[in-house]
């Protein structure tokens, strides 16, 4: 498995500023080695959970029968029941998939997402990271942006259903971290995904 | 300019030795040009003790052949190996159908002393010298001196500035025994030799972009677990993190005067392009659309910017006028056009174009707007143009491996730089080094 056990926040709480402060380089980090080893993130190995590389995902393509309609009253009511059971269990499935160059939520993902909504609403202290990914086709930075948009789409889905924005963080790895290696439709369909990590 | 402060720090660079990778890239020419000018490049004579570490004539010959515009004669066909005019029999070279002849000599008066390199270019038909010079250097500088000679000869014979003394930056990714992917940011000469690793990480590294003075690279690294934009001096290795915003920190691109860096941030929710002033660190937002806006590149005059946007659905190339704020769509052919780069004179753009599910490198003239496809391999990415505007280097795939290919902007000449290990990607051709 890839080295992704960095902890959720490191020192990143307040990041809305360019690190290289104004005018001087007081706040910059400089290193004078030619070959700069940049993998000291291993020290923070207390990640709560990292799902496997998407291999457990269900919804491969169109084998699911969930309707593509907006969340109906039935679903709402069912969710309420879940809520009433308190402490909905953390969902088993942590990955949902997307179509090529698309960031809209597929109908076959809704069931899984609703389980996460229930869990997050029942556990308002729980934090979730939505990690967007793209397949290898197309350009790297466009895919980086596409991965972010996929994460944002899941975030919106969660928020509309009452999950607090403060529980959600969106990141993107673009095409840099494929779940499956390969230049074929089957690999690509597994790589266009959002991993829902607690 | 504030970056000059770093340049002073470069004084220590002589004390500093880079990791020298054993597995250099080597060139393989896959397609040449029939109309290339024949030129004979004779092995340079050596007058000194011991053996020279580099074969200057071979380096020059490889450089010129790679351009596709010149066709060096094979050594085995040479009837004599002159190193000065008195030894040249023009009739022989004329019989071999050579138009030009390059001869020269390297001499060293005292062991470990400086080398003196004389080169002379002759017009075979007119039987006269058209170019010649004596330059000096150390044995470590022989490759650089050879590329310099290539630049002079190329410019004289084609009228185009030579770009053989430039460098390329690229990323390699390799899965190690533990199935961890190791990313390395590397720099080599334009011919793939003298490769150096300047950054290693087990988290993704991408999007290297040269500063206009060819001293720095801006790139994206996930080394903290999140993306950040970093600036690194390629000579000293000194670097610093420039951005650490929440969400995306990507696609850095230097303005032609080096004073600003265009970047992509999602701090306001959606991927948008911003410009960071590298003196004041003031950030200016340049795009504002609910679609994706990314992959900025400044026009050579700094007045415009091209970028990829999904505002019409799929990715297409747009041009932003920085003075008026007006945006114009440039590409209309095909459903996927992305990551465009301007030609050095600003008359053309090069980008990734999807045609029937296959990703090629394409060019489009900004006046006529005609699109032409330059490469035939699938999954071609990241075109980067040489500073003289004659060649593009790009990333492509064969099997599960990525390698770098180069193609002339007219599509006539192609060569590849195979990688020994792992996946090579995202080549970035440096600007001219001494401008």
Task: Name which of B36, B40, B43 is nearest B158 in CA terms.
Answer: B36
| Class of B167-429 in CATH | mainly beta
In B, residues 100-119, which contact A (CB 8 Å cutoff)? Answer: none
CB-based contact A38 B241, cutoff 8 Å: no
Cβ–Cβ < 8 Å for B431, B212: yes
Cβ–Cβ < 8 Å for B62, B191: yes
Residues in contact with B14: Cβ distance below 8 Å, sequence separation at least 6, in sequence order: none
Of B224, B338, B426, the CB nearest to A10: B224
Q: What are phi and psi of A166, to 5 degrees?
A: -70, -15
CB-based contact B241 A31, cutoff 8 Å: no
State the CB neighbour count (10 A cutoff) for residue A29: 11
CA distance B324 to A38: 41
CB-based contact B238 A20, cutoff 8 Å: no
Query: Per-residue DSSP letters for B293-351?
Result: EEEEEE-TTSSEEEEEE-TTSS-EEEEEETTT--EEE---SSS-EEEEEE-TTSSEEEE
Q: Which residues of B touch A23 (CB under 8 A)?
A: 280-281
**Identical topology for domains B35-158 and B167-429:** no
Closest chain B residue by Cα to residue A5 = B225
pLDDT at B29: 63
Residue B250 contacts A where some CB pair is shorter than 8 Å? yes
CB contacts < 8 A, A to B, total 195
pLDDT at A22: 37
Q: Which residues of B touch A3 (CB under 8 A)?
A: 180, 202-203
Strand-strand pairing, B100-107 and B167-175: unpaired
Between CA B199 and CA A103, with CA A149 as vertex, the angle to 5 degrees is 125
Q: Which residues of A touch B201 (CB under 8 A)?
A: 37-39
CA distance B389 to B160: 9
Residue A154 token pair? 């899941």
> Which pLDDT tens digits describe chain B residue by residue (435 residues)?
444 444 333 333 322 333 333 334 445 666 666 688 999 999 999 999 888 989 999 999 999 998 889 999 999 999 999 999 999 999 999 999 999 999 999 999 988 899 999 999 999 999 999 999 999 999 999 999 999 999 999 999 999 999 999 999 999 998 888 888 899 999 999 988 899 999 999 999 999 999 999 999 999 999 999 999 999 999 999 999 999 999 999 999 999 999 999 999 999 989 999 999 999 999 999 999 999 999 999 999 999 999 999 999 999 999 999 999 999 999 999 999 999 999 999 999 999 999 888 899 999 999 877 899 998 887 889 999 999 999 999 998 877 778 899 999 988 888 887 565 668 899 999 999 875
Interior/surface letters B135-163, b for 16+ CB within 10 angstroms, e for the rest: eebeeebbbbbbbbbbbbbbeebbeebbb
In B, residues 15-74, which contact A (CB 8 Å cutoff)? Answer: 16-19
Domain ranges of chain B: 35-158, 167-429
CB-based contact B247 A170, cutoff 8 Å: yes
Of A20, A44, A181, the CB nearest to B281: A20
CA distance B76 to A49: 65
CB-based contact A3 B271, cutoff 8 Å: no
With cut-offs at 50, 70 and 90, classify the pLDDT of residue A66: very low
Q: Which residues of B touch A34 (CB under 8 A)?
A: 16-19, 196, 198, 236-237
CB-based contact B379 A137, cutoff 8 Å: yes
Q: Which residues of A touch B336 (CB under 8 A)?
A: 101, 138
With cut-offs at 50, 70 and 90, classify the pLDDT of residue A21: very low
Residue A18 in this model has a pLDDT that exceeds 50: no
Q: Please state the ipTM of this predicted complex.
A: 0.88
Q: Which CATH superfamily groups domain B35-158?
A: TolB, N-terminal domain (3.40.50.10070)
Residue B281 contacts A where some CB pair is shorter than 8 Å? yes
Domains of chain A: 50-57+72-197 (3.30.1330.60)
DSSP H or E stretch at residue A36: strand A36-37
Q: How far is B296 from chain A (nearest CA, A)?
A: 10
Q: How far is A121 from chain B (nearest CA, A)?
A: 23
Residue A192 in this model has a pLDDT that exceeds 50: yes
Of B18, B226, B241, the CB nearest to A29: B241
CA distance B188 to B197: 9
Residue A39 token pair? 């993998």
CB-based contact B359 A138, cutoff 8 Å: yes
Residue A8 token pair? 């959720």
CA distance B60 to B170: 23
pLDDT at A181: 87
Q: Which residues of A touch B19 (CB under 8 A)?
A: 34-35
pLDDT at A51: 28
Q: Report the range of poorest mean pLDDT among A112-121, A156-165, B17-26.
A: B17-26
With cut-offs at 50, 70 and 90, classify the pLDDT of residue A56: very low
More confident residue, B332 or A74: B332
Q: Which residues of B touch A44 (CB under 8 A)?
A: 225
């Amino acid at each position: 498995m890839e080295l992704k056990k960095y902890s959720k926040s490191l020192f990143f709480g307040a990041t809305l500023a360019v690190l290289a402060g104004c005018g001087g380089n007081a706040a910059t980090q400089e290193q004078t080695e030619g070959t700069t080893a940049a993998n000291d993130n291993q020290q923070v190995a207390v990640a709560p959970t990292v799902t496997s590389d998407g291999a457990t995902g269900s919804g491969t393509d169109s084998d699911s029968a969930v309707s593509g309609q907006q969340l109906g009253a039935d679903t709402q009511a069912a969710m309420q029941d879940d809520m009433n059971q308190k402490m909905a269990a953390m969902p088993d499935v942590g990955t949902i998939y997307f179509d090529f160059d698309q960031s809209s939520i597929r109908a076959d993902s809704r069931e899984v997402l609703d389980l996460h909504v229930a869990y997050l609403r029942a556990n308002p202290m729980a934090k979730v990271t939505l990690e967007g990914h793209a397949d290898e086709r197309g350009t790297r930075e466009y895919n980086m942006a596409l991965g972010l948009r996929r994460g944002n789409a899941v975030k919106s889905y969660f928020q509309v259903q009452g999950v607090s924005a403060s529980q959600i963080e969106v990141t993107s790895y673009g095409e840099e971290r494929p779940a499956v290696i390969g230049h074929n439709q089957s690999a690509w369909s597994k790589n266009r995904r959002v991993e829902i990590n607690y | 300019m504030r970056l000059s402060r770093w340049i002073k720090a470069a004084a220590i660079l002589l004390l500093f030795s880079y990791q020298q990778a054993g597995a250099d890239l080597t060139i393989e020419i896959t397609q040449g040009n029939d109309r290339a000018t024949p030129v004979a490049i004779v092995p340079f004579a050596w007058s000194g003790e011991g053996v020279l570490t580099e074969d200057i004539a071979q380096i020059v010959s490889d450089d010129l052949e790679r351009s596709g515009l010149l066709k060096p004669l094979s050594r085995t066909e040479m009837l004599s190996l002159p190193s000065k005019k008195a030894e040249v029999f023009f009739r022989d070279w004329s019989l071999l159908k050579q138009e030009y002849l390059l001869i020269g000599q390297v001499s060293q008066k005292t062991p470990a002393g400086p080398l003196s390199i004389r080169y002379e270019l002759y017009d075979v038909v007119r039987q006269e010298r058209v170019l010649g010079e004596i330059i000096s250097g150390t044995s470590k500088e022989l490759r650089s001196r050879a590329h310099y000679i290539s630049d002079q000869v190329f410019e004289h014979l084609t009228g185009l500035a030579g770009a053989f003394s430039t460098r390329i930056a690229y990323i390699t990714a390799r899965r190690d025994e533990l199935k961890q992917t190791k990313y390395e940011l590397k720099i080599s000469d334009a011919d793939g030799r003298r490769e150096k690793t300047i950054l290693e990480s087990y988290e993704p590294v991408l999007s290297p972009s040269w500063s206009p003075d060819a001293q720095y690279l801006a790139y994206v690294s996930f080394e903290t677990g999140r993306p950040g934009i970093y600036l690194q001096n390629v000579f000293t290795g000194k670097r610093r993190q420039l951005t650490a915003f929440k969400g995306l920190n990507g696609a850095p691109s230097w303005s032609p005067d080096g004073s600003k860096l265009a970047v992509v941030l999602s701090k306001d929710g959606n991927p948008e392009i911003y410009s960071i002033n590298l003196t004041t660190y003031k950030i200016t937002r340049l795009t504002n659309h609910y679609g994706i806006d990314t992959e900025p590149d400044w026009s050579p005059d700094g007045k415009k910017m091209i970028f990829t946007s999904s505002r019409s659905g799929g990715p297409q190339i747009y041009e932003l006028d920085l003075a008026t704020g007006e945006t114009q769509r440039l590409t209309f052919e095909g459903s996927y056009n992305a990551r465009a780069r301007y030609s050095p004179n600003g008359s053309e753009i090069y980008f990734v174009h999807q045609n029937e599910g296959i990703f090629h490198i394409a060019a489009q003239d900004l006046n006529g707007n005609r699109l032409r496809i330059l490469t035939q391999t699938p999954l071609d990415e990241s075109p980067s143009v040489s500073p003289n505007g004659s060649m593009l280097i790009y990333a492509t795939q064969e099997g599960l491996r990525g390698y770098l290919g180069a193609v002339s902007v007219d599509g006539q000449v192609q060569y590849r730089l195979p990688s020994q290990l792992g996946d090579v990607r995202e080549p970035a051709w440096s600007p001219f080094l001494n401008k």
